[in-house]
Amino acid sequence: MIYLKHFGLEKVPFSLTADPHFYIDFIPHKEALEVITTALSFGESILKITGEVGTGKTLLCNKLQQELAEQYLICNIDNPYLSAHELRCVLANKIGINKIDFEDQFLLTEKIKQRLLILLGEDTKVLVLVDEAQALPDSTLEALRLFSNLETYSQKLLQVVLFGQPELDVRLADNKLRQLRQRITFSYQLRALSEKEIEHYISARLKQAGYRGARLFSRSVCRKISQASRGIPRLINVLAHKVLILSYGQQHYKITNKLVQEAVADTEDAYTVQSNTLWWLLLLSFIILNGTLLLWWKGLL
């Protein structure tokens, strides 16, 4: 990236890729991880994490996969448009079933069950992570539910974590998916970051990217980014990335509110940030208007 050398960075700090190297242990993500890991340790079959677009669900999914890789055989489903049979094939492939058996759907389901029993006997637990779960067809969601039903007398043969946008909750409220809804024993909803968390978020990502200089993003700049991004990490990344490009383009090392306003103007989903000057002008106008009305009112007495 063109500005890396300019700011003394080793890698792009605000990339949109869900790189677990840039995971930051904020309260919402930390709590979500704790809910998942605790529920999985209890042997719960289906868990759900929801959050608005850009709140870090995929990053959390990748972080979970990284942390649990030694404890589970993980099947990561990142294509939300899989049919029920395609889901079976993906799972079968991951747990080591020969592709020759993929054609017969009934046979494949039975082979998956038998293979899961073998893995359980080898003390290997299977975890299915589903990203963008709100887009899965009803039949695929039903297939997941049926797999979550597979169990011995004492434990489940596999566990599932669903990551999805709030639309997933809307779909699960439908009566036809009530069986799946009732199987979800633990859930967590990711929230946006606070202004204070955004300050730390920006600073931490710069540090993880190799930055060792003086503070780049002032509290005032972080406040503007907070207002424009609504605390959504993806928008924070977009704005901070553009601000660094603009600063480099002007050969400056100081990040200003003006640069943030330019970045906001170039970002469709960002909220417009009003300048302090405009805010003071509006306040002054309000004071003058109230003073005029007060004098008029006294003149009537």
Summarised one tens digit per residue, pLDDT across range 134-154 is 999 999 999 999 999 998 888
Q: Is residue 287 part of a domain?
A: no
Q: Are residues 31 and 78 in the same domain?
A: yes
Give the whole-angstrom CA distance, residue 240 versus residue 179: 43
Q: Is residue 276 part of a domain?
A: no
Q: Is the pLDDT of residue 279 over 80?
A: no
Q: Is residue 159 part of a domain?
A: yes
Q: Which of 138, 167, 189 is the last residue of a domain?
A: 189
Q: Which of 189, 217, 249 is the last residue of a domain?
A: 189
- The residue range of the domain holding 66 is 27-189
Q: Is the pLDDT of residue 289 over 80?
A: no
Which value, in Å, is the radius of gyration of the alpha carbons in the chain? Answer: 25
Q: Are residues 114 and 258 in the same domain?
A: no
Q: Which of 137, 170, 189 is the last residue of a domain?
A: 189
Q: Is residue 285 part of a domain?
A: no
Q: Is residue 263 part of a domain?
A: yes
Q: Are residues 54 and 149 in the same domain?
A: yes
* Closest to 129 measured CA to CA, from 161, 158, 81, 156: 161
Q: Is the pLDDT of residue 280 over 60?
A: no
Using the 8-state DSSP alphabet, how is residue 162 labeled? E
Q: Are residues 180 and 208 in the same domain?
A: no
Q: Domain containing 244 — which CATH number?
A: 1.10.8
Q: Are residues 31 and 178 in the same domain?
A: yes
Q: Are residues 35 and 181 in the same domain?
A: yes
Q: Is residue 291 part of a domain?
A: no
Q: Are residues 92 and 152 in the same domain?
A: yes
Q: What is the mean pLDDT of residues 105-110?
A: 83
Q: Is the pLDDT of residue 288 over 90?
A: no
Q: Is residue 151 part of a domain?
A: yes
Q: Are residues 185 and 197 in the same domain?
A: no
Q: Are residues 103 and 245 in the same domain?
A: no
Q: Is the pLDDT of residue 291 over 90?
A: no
Q: Are residues 36 and 185 in the same domain?
A: yes
Contact 257, 222 (CB under 8 A): no
Q: Is the pLDDT of residue 286 over 80?
A: no
Q: Is the pLDDT of residue 281 over 80?
A: no
Q: Are residues 43 and 184 in the same domain?
A: yes
Residue with the larger pLDDT of the pair 281 and 19: 19
Q: What is the pLDDT of residue 272?
A: 65
pLDDT in tens, 84-102: 999 999 999 999 988 876 7
Of all residues in the chain, the percent with pLDDT exceeding 70 is 89
Q: Is the pLDDT of residue 277 over 80?
A: no
pLDDT in tens, 15-62: 988 899 999 988 999 999 999 999 999 999 999 999 999 999 999 999
Q: What is the pLDDT of residue 275?
A: 46
Q: Is residue 281 part of a domain?
A: no
Q: Are residues 57 and 112 in the same domain?
A: yes
Q: Is the pLDDT of residue 156 over 60?
A: yes
The model's pTM? 0.86
| C-alpha triplet 237, 52, 245: angle, nearest 5° | 10
Q: What is the pLDDT of residue 30?
A: 93
DSSP string, 118-139: HHHHTT-EEEEEESSGGGS-HH
Domains held by the chain: number:
2
